[in-house]
Amino acid sequence: MSQDISIRTNLRPGDLGRIISLHGEVYDPLGGYGLTFEAFVGRTIAEFVLDNGARGQIWLAEQGDRLIGCTAIALREGNRGQLRWVLVDPSARGRGMGKQLVNSAMEYCRKEGCNSVFLETTDGLPESQTLYEKLGFAVTSESVEELWDGPRPLIIMQMDLA
């Protein structure tokens, strides 16, 4: 990873909005993601703070003042972590940032005593699913659910830590 990229976990006002904005900008060209997806991400971030009490941690990768990557862990019941909002701006891909962000999240889960970590993803994101599989996640279920743009495959992956 380049020297001018830093990763921080201390959140400041505006950071949550930046995560939502990055998702909107990066996913929009993929088709089927648009404003409704951006609103969906906004809702899940609001739930993380308001309903989950921000139990977990968020990682922000920045190049100067620009957010170029992020991920988070939401701590859940039963000593489980949920991996959320894994995203690297296309301009910063190919440097191992996604792997570094997810590995930092897994290390955090181990320190917090999580027995497992799960994530939710969907079709049309083969690079993401490949990364998750390489890091040790396995598909535990696939179903069609009503998501931000209508019925869409919901893929749940999990990694056991214990």
> Regarding predicted confidence, which is higher, 114 or 53?
114
Q: CATH no. for residue 83? A: 3.40.630.30
9: its two tokens? 């976990």
> Regarding predicted confidence, which is higher, 1 or 24?
24
Res. 1: pLDDT tops 70: no
pLDDT at position 147 is: 87
Which range of 13-22, 117-126, 144-153 scores highest in mean pLDDT? It is 13-22
pLDDT at position 124 is: 81
pLDDT > 70 fraction of the chain, expressed in percent and rounded:
98
Instruction: Name which of 52, 53, 43, 56 is nearest 16 in CA terms.
Output: 43
The overall longest dimension of the chain from CA atoms, in Å, is 42
Q: Tell me the pLDDT of the chain averaged across its residues.
A: 93
- CA pair distance 132, 91, nearest whole angstrom: 20
Question: Which residues are CB-contacts of 41 (< 8 A; sequence separation ≥ 6)?
Answer: 19, 20, 23, 24, 85
Strand order in the sheet with 56-63: 5-8, 56-63, 66-76, 80-88, 116-121, 150-160, 138-147
**Per-residue pLDDT tens for 63-75?**
999 999 999 999 9
- CA pair distance 158, 140, nearest whole angstrom: 7
Number of domains observed in the structure of the chain: 1
Q: What is the mean pLDDT of residues 73-83?
A: 97
Task: Please report, for residues 4, 43, 44, 87, 162, the alpha-carbon distance to residue 31 in angstroms, rounded to integers and kept in the order given.
Answer: 31, 20, 20, 16, 38
Q: What is the mean pLDDT of residues 84-97?
A: 94
**Per-residue pLDDT tens for 111-147?**
999 999 999 999 888 889 999 999 999 999 999 998 8
Domain of 24, in residue numbers:
5-160
| Residue 133 CB neighbours (<10 A) | 12
pLDDT band at 3 (very low <50, low <70, confident <90, very high): low
Question: Which residues are CB-contacts of 114 (< 8 A; sequence separation ≥ 6)?
Answer: 75, 79, 80, 81, 161
User: What's the angle, vertex CA 48, arms to CA 45 and CA 52, rounded to 5?
Assistant: 165
SS3 label, residue 25: helix
pLDDT at position 27 is: 93
